[in-house]
């Protein structure tokens, strides 16, 4: 690599790093507690257990829906989903209308076996606030896409850093730290070494983070593609009104169509995940991997008849798989601890990178001051 090429790579590394560093620091700091969100939720949020009386059987889903609706008489149910932590809890999302914004939702959590109202979950807890900062900085889709751009710059900084480190290692031993040289050189070597150690982790988290910021784009693409195909026969029909098909019969139909799967969420007609004529029952697998993937079964909301069931396209599945991987959600506590260690190491890389830039500017300024002083003395 000649000097001009090396300088070009150095400039790519410097400017991409500088532009994204502050935002990456924010993402690493907020991401650290999110790695342990399940454990922290149990400490920070009120925990309510669904107690099952001896010999009790699950309540009818229609009965549970009526109980949830009675809590918010002016709202309509638009989503039903099952708690990931406690399968004995059913959560209802109710809003004034199906396409209302997420912040208008009200929630009711019920005991699946008794119908008891356990809680009315909110979205303003500490972990929820941290998640919103991490996802979009409270700036909606604009903030999300901006963070995606910062993720792209981060990946470019990683690639350019690897190229530069490879050039350095042609002259020195791998992993060397020049402890007895200047302080700046010691921190430069530390920065480079930790950067190489965290290379794979940073690349995985960076790329999955970029994918996650495209969730709205993925949803729109799915709506305009597969979902539109699935509901095409209903395109010229009026939206469904009046009494809808039984939720229990809808569930039976969906489970018969996907016998080796279990329901994750039911979406009502008019929501962004279904059509104006269908329930969409999203079924999931029962293994660590397939439980992250969803298969929509569309049920005619008037007749209760199955109209279509398809596997999600590759780009949606990529999003489903990247979300838990981004937070180390696949391997239990051991993987979470590894993710946290690498997160902290990346914070060190970012801070040392800022330090090196500041020190380099100081050194350059001092050098120019010396040159100016020499010129003045000569004159």
241-267 pLDDT per residue, tens: 888 999 999 999 999 999 989 999 999
40-54, 57-71, 329-343 — which is least confidently predicted? 40-54
Contact indicator for 106, 72 with CB cutoff of 8 Å: yes
Q: Evaluate if residue 64 carries a pLDDT over 70.
A: yes
Q: Evaluate if residue 338 carries a pLDDT over 90.
A: yes
Q: Evaluate if residue 378 carries a pLDDT over 60.
A: no
71-75, 127-131, 333-337, 373-377 — which is least confidently predicted? 373-377
Q: Which of 245, 242, 274 is nearest to 61 (CA)?
A: 245
pLDDT of residue 172: 64
Identify the residue with better confidence: 88 or 122.
88
Q: What is the rounded CA–CA span in Å between residue 365 and residue 362?
A: 5
Beta strands 106-111 and 117-119: pairing type?
antiparallel
Report CA dihedral (268, 272, 274, 280) to the nearest 10 degrees: -60
DSSP 8-class letter at 199 = H
DSSP alpha helices (H): ranges in the chain? 3-35, 37-44, 61-71, 126-136, 140-168, 183-197, 199-213, 215-222, 228-230, 247-257, 314-326, 332-378
**What CA–CA distances, in Å, run from 229 to 72, 95, 208, 308, 354?**
35, 27, 28, 10, 50
Percentage of the chain modeled with pLDDT above 90? 56
pLDDT tens digits for range 196-235? 899 999 999 999 999 999 999 999 999 999 999 999 999 8
**What CA–CA distances, in Å, run from 79 to 65, 90, 94, 211, 282?**
10, 11, 7, 25, 11
pLDDT of residue 375: 46
pLDDT of residue 364: 65
12-26, 55-69, 80-94, 333-347 — which is least confidently predicted? 80-94
Contact indicator for 214, 148 with CB cutoff of 8 Å: yes
Contact indicator for 82, 91 with CB cutoff of 8 Å: yes
pLDDT of residue 26: 96
358 confidence band (pLDDT: 50, 70, 90): confident
Average pLDDT (282-310) is: 91
pLDDT of residue 329: 81
| Angle formed at CA 339 by CA 338 and CA 340, multiple of 5 degrees | 90
Residue 316: other Cβ atoms inside 10 A: 20
Which residues make Cβ contacts (< 8 Å) with residue 176, sequence separation at least 6?
Answer: 189
Q: What is the rounded CA–CA span in Å between residue 208 and residue 181?
A: 38
* Euclidean distance between the first and the last CA atom of the chain, given in angstroms as a whole number: 41
Residue 78: exposure state from Cβ atoms within 10 A (0-12, 13-18, ≥19): buried
Q: Evaluate if residue 189 carries a pLDDT over 90.
A: no
pLDDT of residue 365: 63
Average pLDDT (123-151) is: 90
135 confidence band (pLDDT: 50, 70, 90): very high
Q: Which of 285, 288, 287 is nearest to 331 (CA)?
A: 288
Q: Which of 24, 131, 133, 37 is nearest to 329 (CA)?
A: 37
Identify the residue with better confidence: 363 or 157.
157
Q: Which of 272, 130, 152 is nearest to 214 (CA)?
A: 152
Q: Which of 20, 23, 88 is nearest to 58 (CA)?
A: 88
Q: Evaluate if residue 272 carries a pLDDT over 80.
A: yes
Percentage of the chain modeled with pLDDT above 70? 89
pLDDT of residue 110: 92
Q: What is the mean pLDDT of the chain?
A: 87
Identify the residue with better confidence: 127 or 167.
127
């Amino acid at each position: 690599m000649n000097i001009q090429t090396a300088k070009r790579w150095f400039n790519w590394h410097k400017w991409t790093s500088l532009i994204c560093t502050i935002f990456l620091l924010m993402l690493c700091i907020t991401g650290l507690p999110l790695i342990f969100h399940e454990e922290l939720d149990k400490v920070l949020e009120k925990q309510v257990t669904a107690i099952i009386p001896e010999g009790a059987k699950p309540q009818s889903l229609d009965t549970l829906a009526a109980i949830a609706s009675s809590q918010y008489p002016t709202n309509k149910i638009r989503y039903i989903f099952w708690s990931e932590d406690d399968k004995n809890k059913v959560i209802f999302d109710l809003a004034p209308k199906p396409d209302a914004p997420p912040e208008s939702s009200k929630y009711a959590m019920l005991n699946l076996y008794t119908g008891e109202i356990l809680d009315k979950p909110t979205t303003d807890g500490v972990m929820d606030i941290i998640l919103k900062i991490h996802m979009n900085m409270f700036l909606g889709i604009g903030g999300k896409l901006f963070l995606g751009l910062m993720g792209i710059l981060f990946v470019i900084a990683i690639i350019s850093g690897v190229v530069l480190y490879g050039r350095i290692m042609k002259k020195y031993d791998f992993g060397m730290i020049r402890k007895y040289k200047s302080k700046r050189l010691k921190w430069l070597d530390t920065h480079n070494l930790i950067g190489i150690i965290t290379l794979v982790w940073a690349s995985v988290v960076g790329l999955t983070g970029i994918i996650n910021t495209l969730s709205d784009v993925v949803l729109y693409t799915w709506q305009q593609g597969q979902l539109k195909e699935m509901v095409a026969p209903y395109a010229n029909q009026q939206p469904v009104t009046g009494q809808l098909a039984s939720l229990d019969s809808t569930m039976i139909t969906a489970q018969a169509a996907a016998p080796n799967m279990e329901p994750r969420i039911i979406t009502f007609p008019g929501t962004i995940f279904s059509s104006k004529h269908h329930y969409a029952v999203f079924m999931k697998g029962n293994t660590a991997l397939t439980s992250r993937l969803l298969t929509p079964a569309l049920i005619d909301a008037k007749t209760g008849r199955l109209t279509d069931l398809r596997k999600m396209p590759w780009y949606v599945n990529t999003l489903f798989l990247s979300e838990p991987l981004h937070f180390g959600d696949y391997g239990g506590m051991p993987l979470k601890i590894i993710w946290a260690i690498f997160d902290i190491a990346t914070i060190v890389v970012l801070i040392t990178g800022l330090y090196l830039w500041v020190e380099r500017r100081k050194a350059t300024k001092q050098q120019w001051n010396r040159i100016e002083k020499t010129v003045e003395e000569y004159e």
